Amino acid sequence: MPLTPLGWSPFFEDAFEPYAAAGLIPARITAQHRGAAVLVTADGELRADVAGRLSHEAESGEMPAVGDWVAVRPREEGRATIHAVLPRRTKFSRKEALSRTAEQVVAANIDTVFLVSGLGPDLSARRLERYLTMAWESGAEPVIVLTKIDLVDDVAASVAEIESIAFGVPVHAVNGITGEGLEQLAPYLAHGRTVALLGSSGVGKSTLVNRLYGQEILATRAVRESDGTGRHTTTHRELVLLPQGGLLLDTPGMRELQLWEAEGGLEGAFADITALAATCRFSDCAHRHEPGCAVLAALEQGELAPERLESYRKLQRELLALEARQDARLAAEERRRRRTFAKSLRTDKY
């Protein structure tokens, strides 16, 4: 099959030139299973592992991820080795779970990010602010998709609530089971365009994929009636080529999304606060007690909700803490390199 429907473009063609000369072929990663990647090439599907040199030399966040275009060398029937990752146009990253300070690329080369949230008791404007921060940082176009419209009596009110924190971001309310409202999503799924679905467990991402595909290709589960949430259905990231064109990337539910280098994304997600801050008397205003603070003035006048400002401050603190941990990690790595170098000098001397 041609590569264009998979998102291949002149950007990737130019980047691939050196690898073509070495006899490698281009492929896109559509899924990962226990270390093995599933690839699609012009000649069909392959399973691949990562070359030892790439695995050893790749920094945090540079290892192949779903959505990446890679340079591979086919081996025996149906197998291949990934030798390089082509430059990414966009990437959606988060900090790895637990205490490790490392980048995890959730999806690469995404054109649009569907930030999916179910209406009802699990709808959280604060969680969507976090997702919006990461989406703006990714370089992809964020779109909010509100599912399960049958769970609320006043859909318009719920949409208005989310629109109040989603400056300039389209908000669509749909029903993945009946198909109501799905025609709003068609423009984002044009030929060769890639859309990633991100959201918590049980918000209906897999149901949405099945409905857009036209048949059940991903497993789904009912949510708990007690709180409107669900367990993980999708256990891995998978890129699906739709019959009508466009690609959908379903991802496992992520209730906790830890930020990773998202200062620019924070400004995009909180465009109202960013605009107010630009008019503060002092350029380094912390928006706490400073005179002439436009942010505090908007808060006092009721033009800015206290919970939104607190959400902004919380994410800002998280980014500052992450930056401090990253600096500490880099300093530790530099100390290790110096010790290794000093040891090599002593060894050479004797």
CA–CA distance, 174 with 1 (Å, rounded to integer): 33
Q: Per-residue pLDDT averaged across 116-131, rounded?
A: 89
pLDDT at 223 over 50: no
pLDDT at 68 over 90: yes
- Please state, rounded to an integer, the average pLDDT across all residues of the chain: 84
Question: What is the predicted pLDDT for the residue at 186?
Answer: 92
Question: What is the predicted pLDDT for the residue at 260?
Answer: 63
Question: What is the predicted pLDDT for the residue at 340?
Answer: 66
Q: Per-residue pLDDT averaged across 266-286, rounded?
A: 92
pLDDT at 83 over 60: yes
Confidence of residue 85 (pLDDT cuts 50, 70, 90): very high
Q: Are strands 194-198 and 238-241 parallel, antiparallel or unpaired?
A: unpaired
95 alpha-carbon distance from chain centroid: 11
Task: Tell me the DSSP string of 158-198.
Answer: HHHHHHTTSTT--EEE--TTT-TTGGGGGGGG-TT-EEEEE
Q: Per-residue pLDDT averaged across 5-27, rounded?
A: 95
Task: Please count the CA atoms within 13 angstroms of the CA of 137 that sit on its side-chain side.
Answer: 23
**Of 50 and 223, which is predicted with more confidence?**
50
**Of 255 and 95, which is predicted with more confidence?**
95
Provide the whole-model pTM: 0.81
Compute how many other C-beta atoms are within 10 angstroms of the C-beta atom of residue 126: 13
Q: Where are the alpha helices (DSSP H) in the chain?
A: 10-21, 52-57, 125-138, 155-163, 205-213, 263-269, 271-277, 294-300, 306-349
pLDDT at 226 over 70: no
Question: What is the predicted pLDDT for the residue at 228?
Answer: 46
CA–CA distance, 239 with 108 (Å, rounded to integer): 11
Domains and CATH numbers, the chain: 4-85 (2.40.50.140), 91-250 (3.40.50.300), 263-327 (1.10.40.50)
pLDDT at 232 over 50: no
297-331 pLDDT, tens digit per residue, is 999 999 999 999 999 999 888 888 777 766 555 55
Residues 92, 106: contact at Cβ < 8 Å? yes
Confidence of residue 233 (pLDDT cuts 50, 70, 90): very low
Confidence of residue 57 (pLDDT cuts 50, 70, 90): confident
Question: What is the predicted pLDDT for the residue at 95?
Answer: 73
The neighbouring-strand residues paired with 69 are 28
Confidence of residue 217 (pLDDT cuts 50, 70, 90): low
Of all residues in the chain, the percent with pLDDT exceeding 70 is 82
Question: What is the predicted pLDDT for the residue at 103?
Answer: 79
pLDDT at 179 over 80: yes
